[in-house]
Amino acid sequence: MAEPLTGTLAEPLVEHLAEPLTEPLGARTRWAVRSWWLCAGMWMRSTMAYRASFALTLGASLVTHSLDFVVLVLMFRHTDQLGGWTLPELAFLYATATFALGIANLLVGSVDGLGARIVNGTLDTMLIRPAPALSQLCAERFSLRRLGRPIQALAVLVWSLATLDVTWTWDRVLLVPALLVCGCVIFGAIYVGGATVQFWWGEAKEIQNSVTYGGATLLHYPPTIFAKELVAGVVFGVPLAFVNWLPALHILGRPDPLGLPTAFQYASPLAAALCVAVAGLAWRAGLRAYRGTGS
Amino acid sequence: MPNAPGLYAAVARGAFRRYSTYRAATLAGTFTNTVFGIILASSFLALWQARPNLGGYDQSQAVTYIWVSQALLVTVAVWGGGFQDDVQDRFRSGDIAIDLYRPVDFQGWWLATDLGRAAFQLLVRGTVPLLVGALVFRTRMPEQPVTWAVFLLSVLLAVVVSFGLRFLVSITGFWLHDSEGVRSVMLVVSMFFSGMLLPIALFPGPLGELAHVLPWAALVQAPTDVFLERRTGTGLLGPLGFQLVWAVVLLLAGRAAQLLATRKVVVQGG
């Protein structure tokens, strides 16, 4: 297995080492994605060696992650609205937030292992390998068993879209895939940006959980049930509201509790781009500030 | 072993001190508990606005339910963990064999470490979210001072029941070599049936009746009901007795499993 890997890696490796940062951004991004792909493929082959174990853990993760939705359904056995929103509407919020978090977690979630790597010194090994450290970290222990979360989210989304009482105009239809993609990007950027904090504070991993998992839990519920300060915080602070709340207001035809301009409801791509830029800059600053112990 | 109580107390103190050194992790974890508390308390508030007195809880009781359950989440290790991680590492490294011929009781040793851990977690990860909750939301603190003492007793029993469950899971490692799979199944069952996600009173019909008698109800539901003074006076004997029965049953089951496991190890080693 070593031979095909060195074969495919060798050529871009030399190019990359020769001109590390003079290459245009596009070429560097392509190289980073390709490195991620190679690393992820390697990890996937290793986990797929145990097929039964893979099937079991995927099944277990499907059930585990469905539990949050079961709780929502149980809540709606006692009421037909929560904060003025119905179950299909909550299901839409639940599905979009969970899908975005799930895909981001699948693709880049492993990056939160950064702190542990700094502590035991293995980050240095990654830095001297001829592939971007960020790609390697994100692909670390890549496993399709993490698909459990997004798969059950998709099932809930299908049910929700079929049950929702919405006039499907073209802009609403287009907003659905747009918000799914932007949501994944925003959560992905939060994973990377949050992990960057670990360059300075090794134990920040759990704080990051409160933004990623806590954030997704927040987005399961309609914005109307939360304090306005909290809602404003996830619009202008950590821009979680752009994952699903703001576009969903337009799709579901709900009034904005903050009374923001309608432009915000279409601004998810902009917010996603901004998140990626901030996370990218933070990562470079963190990598520059990093000093290995050298031993 | 004449000085056994002193020994186990020392082990528990050691575990307490060990956990108290993970300061940054404790701080970060407390922050996460608080964030989840705010989100879930808001969702409960909305549900109880739509349905006042649902399940026999008024609005402030429902909100307090969330804050008490967040305070208990790590203390009673609803997710698993604590001594389980240590035992699992020792299974992987093979050190588990050494543990078994030490002149201390295997179950007692780990119970002592877990009680030490829980004491520290309750002190920090228990009190801080509860305080923040009381500041931000309209919560219901116990009216009678004695409730605090009974609550602490109930939490102690909850930790022992939780230990009993986790010990049984860990001990499957003697047969399965890796209890990771069983642990992930237990996590699901435990989160749901402990009442961590939703008070058991809101479960529909037979599911609710089942949840009321399963041991997981002793982890979160029972101490929370004590805290909210849903039972007072002799009525308190209900939840406390329930917890005590499960604690004894699970510890005995763990003891039996341990005997079987030790025999198995002797067979392999001899």
Number of domains in chain B: 1
A57 and B32: CB-CB below 8 Å? no
Would you call A74 and B40 a contact, using CB atoms and an 8 Å cutoff?
no
Q: Is A116 within 8 Å of chain B by CB? A: no
- Which residues of chain B does A82 touch, with a Cβ-Cβ cutoff of 8 Å? 43, 46-47, 50
Average pLDDT, chain B: 89
- The pLDDT mean for chain A works out to 86
User: Which ipTM did the prediction report?
Assistant: 0.85
A269 CA: distance to closest CA in chain B (Å)? 26
| Domain definitions of chain A by residue range | 2-289
What pLDDT sits at residue A16?
Answer: 46
Whether the pLDDT of residue B101 is over 80: the answer is no
**For A90, which residue in chain B has the nearest alpha carbon?**
B43
Check residue B254 and give its pLDDT.
Answer: 94
Question: Using CB atoms and an 8 Å cut-off, which of residues 125-184 of chain A contact chain B?
Answer: none
Quote the minimal CA–CA distance from A103 to chain B in Å.
21
What secondary structure does DSSP assign to chain A, as a single string? -HHHHHHHHHHHHHHHHHSTTTS-HHHHHHHHHHHHHHHHHHHHHHHTTSHHHHHHHHHHHHHHHHHHHHHHHHHTTS-S-BTTB-HHHHHHHHHHHHHHHHHHHHHHGGGGGHHHHHHHTTHHHHHHSSS-HHHHHHHTT--GGGGHHHHHHHHHHHHHHHH------HHHHHHHHHHHHHHHHHHHHHHHHHHHGGGT-TTTHHHHHHHHHHHHHHHHS-GGGS-HHHHHIIIIIS-GGGTTHHHHHHHHT---TT---GGGGG-HHHHHHHHHHHHHHHHHHHHHH------
> Of B24, B35, B51, which has the smallest distance from its Cβ to A201's Cβ?
B24
Is the pLDDT score of B7 beyond 80? yes
Share of chain A above pLDDT 70, in %: 92
Please name the residue of chain B whose CA is at the shortest distance from the CA of residue A212: B32
- Chain B residues touching residue A218 (CB < 8 angstroms): 39
Q: Dump pLDDT digits (tens) for A232-283.
A: 999 998 899 999 999 999 999 998 888 899 899 999 999 999 999 999 999 9
**Which of B46, B51, B181 is opposite residue A225, by nearest beta carbon?**
B46
pLDDT digits (tens, 9 = 90+) for A105-148: 999 999 988 988 888 888 888 888 888 899 999 998 888 888 88
Least confident of A121-130, B30-39, B198-207, B250-259: A121-130
- pLDDT tier at A4 (50, 70, 90 boundaries)? very low
Contact residues, B window 51-70, toward A, CB-based 8 Å cutoff: 51, 54
pLDDT tens, residue by residue, A155-165: 999 999 999 98
Question: Region A54-83: what's the mean pLDDT?
Answer: 87
* pLDDT grade for B93, boundaries at 50, 70 and 90: confident
